[in-house]
Amino acid sequence: MAKKAAAKPEKQEEVKLRIVMDVPQDVAVQYVNQIEVGRLQHDFFILCGRLPVKPSPTVLAAAKESGELHIEASLQVLIPAGLISGLIDALSAQKALYERDQQQRAAKAKQPLNS
């Protein structure tokens, strides 16, 4: 009986793509003013929450006694380790642009008005 020759796998062409996020009108938005960052065995995580505007007297008393204010995380983001360096670079670049813009606005605000 004749043996079938093993089929050679087709050579896959490498395609380089830039991924662009489209933001639909109804995408969820979450405001947070507290972030906790940590790591798991293979991923990193960001826990997000929001401080209450006016904590209840019970919550304040417990916080004073323990020295800790506990808030619930409203969002948990898990990030694969391979994305972390790019995330840090992107955040650093955006922070630098933000700081430059703030400095330009402050300098512009100090300029006298021309009459």
Q: Which residue's entry shows tokens 């955040």? A: 91
Lowest mean pLDDT among 19-28, 91-100, 104-113: 104-113
Q: Is 111 within the bounds of a domain? A: no
Domain, as residue range, for 62: 34-105
Q: Is 2 within the bounds of a domain? A: no
Q: Is 89 within the bounds of a domain? A: yes
Amino acid identity for residue 14 in this structure: E
Q: Is 21 within the bounds of a domain? A: no
The C-alpha atoms of residue 93 and residue 18 are separated, in whole angstroms, by: 18
Q: Is 18 within the bounds of a domain? A: no
Q: With 80 as the cut, is the pLDDT of residue 37 above it?
A: yes
Number of domains making up the chain: 1
Q: Is 114 within the bounds of a domain? A: no
pLDDT tens for each residue of 49-98: 999 999 999 999 999 999 999 999 999 999 999 999 999 999 999 999 99
H or E segment to which residue 73 belongs: strand 73-80
The C-alpha atoms of residue 40 and residue 42 are separated, in whole angstroms, by: 6
Q: With 80 as the cut, is the pLDDT of residue 7 above it?
A: no
**Other beta carbons less than 10 A from residue 51's beta carbon:** 10
Q: Is 81 within the bounds of a domain? A: yes
Q: Is 58 within the bounds of a domain? A: yes
